[in-house]
Amino acid sequence: MMSKRMRTTLGLVLIFLFAGALPSTPEAAPKTMVLGTAPVGTSSFPYMVGVATIINKAHPNDFALAPQETGGTVANIRLVAAGRIHLTGFSGMVVADALEGRRPFDKKYNVQALFSMYGQHFLWFARKASGVTSWDQIAGKKMAVGTPAGSTRVGGDLVIATKGLKGKAQFLYLQPSAMIDSLRDGNIDAGFGLSTGNSLAPWVQEVMSTLDVNFFGLDEPTIAKLVQRPGLTRYVIPAGLLKGSPGFPTMSEYLVAGVSPTMEERTAYLFTKTIQENLATLGTYSTAAKGAKPEDALKGLPPNLSFHPGAVRYYKEKGLMK
């Protein structure tokens, strides 16, 4: 008869022998993370949805990025710095202010870059019935100059201040859909837009196809003052891009994909590597990403914005950084 000790020993042996035949422990669930987009209808929205989709497909066991609509650049910087979202896009011009605690921020916000997304170029338009063809004719008018928490608002406010228009017109902050409705109803005279690369923001395309407007940019003296700010450069909207427009000079900046400095290096590395090695696929989600090249990832950052160590690791591996 087998003793109690022998039965116990045999039981342990059988457990170890058959352990390999039993189903393995399930793999850890992918880490759920929030990707902050921008308002629906902006160029950033489909771009960031594409980023989330590409990363999720490439790393199904590691990450589950959930896109979440946000108010735009200013909101994104605050949210990612606070850890409420994990990956997002923001304006190079605006993040330069956030890092230093300048308006519209009331303190310093610490964020880092993974890669430049694309250049965005500011433009404006007015109903032809208003007679407005430039910023010099805005006094006494009613104009939407940007979204409530986006880079268009910051850019519009800069132009207003530079041209001394504060208090001389009624300036509003509206989402693109509300702005278009107000233009169509004649409740405002002028609005804001963006071009990205050689394409137009979706709402600008709608304006161009459904409203009778004059498009305009900035005069050279104003541009010369504005480009002294970190993150801003001069750009020329090409002829033919906008219906009835011969093209014009304006100000431009880059949007940047960024994270909190507290993000794990491996995560930041995989995010950067995955997107930079799938740029063609990203271009199928967003026209702003079409034609993007790996070396474009390093363009347009303001001097006070640093890359996350995980991104630096990838760029050094590819010879894009020393």
Q: Specify the pLDDT at position 7.
A: 37
User: Which has the closest alpha carbon to 140: 157, 151, 126, 122?
Assistant: 126
* CATH number of the domain that residue 91 is part of: 3.40.190.10
Question: Residues of the chain with pLDDT > 70: what percent?
Answer: 91
Backbone torsions φ then ψ of 108, nearest 5 degrees:
-80, 135
Question: Helix or strand or coil: residue 289?
Answer: helix
Q: What share of the chain is helix, strand, coil (3-state, %, to 5)?
A: 40, 25, 35
Mark which of 254, 286, 302 sits at the end of a domain. 254
Q: Specify the pLDDT at position 14.
A: 31
pLDDT digit string, tens, across residues 49-90: 999 999 999 999 999 999 999 999 999 999 999 999 999 999
Q: Could you tell me if 158 and 45 lie in one domain?
A: no
Q: Could you tell me if 109 and 168 lie in one domain?
A: no
pLDDT digit string, tens, across residues 2-47: 443 433 333 333 333 333 333 433 455 789 999 999 988 888 999 9
Q: Specify the pLDDT at position 123.
A: 98
Mark which of 237, 254, 271 sits at the end of a domain. 254
Q: Could you tell me if 222 and 134 lie in one domain?
A: yes
Alpha-carbon gap, residue 242 to 245, rounded angstroms: 5
Q: At what angle do helices 176-185 and 202-210 cross, to 10 degrees?
A: 10
Question: Helix or strand or coil: residue 259?
Answer: strand
Q: Could you tell me if 113 and 178 lie in one domain?
A: no
| Per-residue tokens: 127 | 């109903």
Query: Average pLDDT, stretch 158-172?
Result: 98
Give the domain extent around 295: 31-118+255-317
pLDDT digit string, tens, across residues 204-226: 999 999 999 999 999 999 999 99
Alpha-carbon gap, residue 60 to 32, rounded angstroms: 11
Q: Could you tell me if 106 and 226 lie in one domain?
A: no
| Per-residue tokens: 82 | 């606070």
Q: Could you tell me if 224 and 131 lie in one domain?
A: yes
Query: Average pLDDT, stretch 120-137?
Result: 97
- Report the chain's mean pLDDT, rounded to a whole number: 91
Question: Cis before residue 46, ω within 30 degrees of 0?
Answer: no
Is residue 23 included in any domain, yes or no?
Answer: no
Q: Specify the pLDDT at position 27.
A: 52
Is residue 13 included in any domain, yes or no?
Answer: no
Q: Could you tell me if 97 and 158 lie in one domain?
A: no
pLDDT digit string, tens, across residues 248-280: 999 999 999 999 999 999 999 999 999 999 999
Which uninterrupted H or E stretch holds 280?
A: helix 279-285
Which uninterrupted H or E stretch holds 195?
A: strand 190-196
Q: Is the per-residue pLDDT at 153 higher than 70?
A: yes
- Could you write out the DSSP letters of every residue in 20-38? GGSPPPPPPPPEEEEEE--
Is residue 9 included in any domain, yes or no?
Answer: no
Alpha-carbon gap, residue 321 to 312, rounded angstroms: 7
Alpha-carbon gap, residue 135 to 128, rounded angstroms: 14
Alpha-carbon gap, residue 257 to 88, rounded angstroms: 6
Which uninterrupted H or E stretch holds 237?
A: strand 233-237
Is residue 168 included in any domain, yes or no?
Answer: yes
- Give the number of domains in the chain: 2
Q: Could you tell me if 259 and 207 lie in one domain?
A: no
Alpha-carbon gap, residue 43 to 286, rounded angstroms: 7
Q: Could you tell me if 167 and 223 lie in one domain?
A: yes
Is residue 8 included in any domain, yes or no?
Answer: no
Q: Specify the pLDDT at position 30.
A: 86
Mark which of 209, 237, 254 sits at the end of a domain. 254
Is residue 12 included in any domain, yes or no?
Answer: no
Q: Could you tell me if 246 and 282 lie in one domain?
A: no
Q: Which residue has the tokens 């409530």?
A: 148
Q: Which residue has the tokens 């693109």?
A: 176
Q: Specify the pLDDT at position 10.
A: 35
How many C-beta atoms lie closer than 10 Å to residue 171's C-beta?
Answer: 21
Q: Could you tell me if 196 and 79 lie in one domain?
A: no
Question: Helix or strand or coil: residue 42?
Answer: coil
Q: Could you tell me if 159 and 219 lie in one domain?
A: yes
Query: Average pLDDT, stretch 278-293?
Result: 94
DSSP designation for 169: S
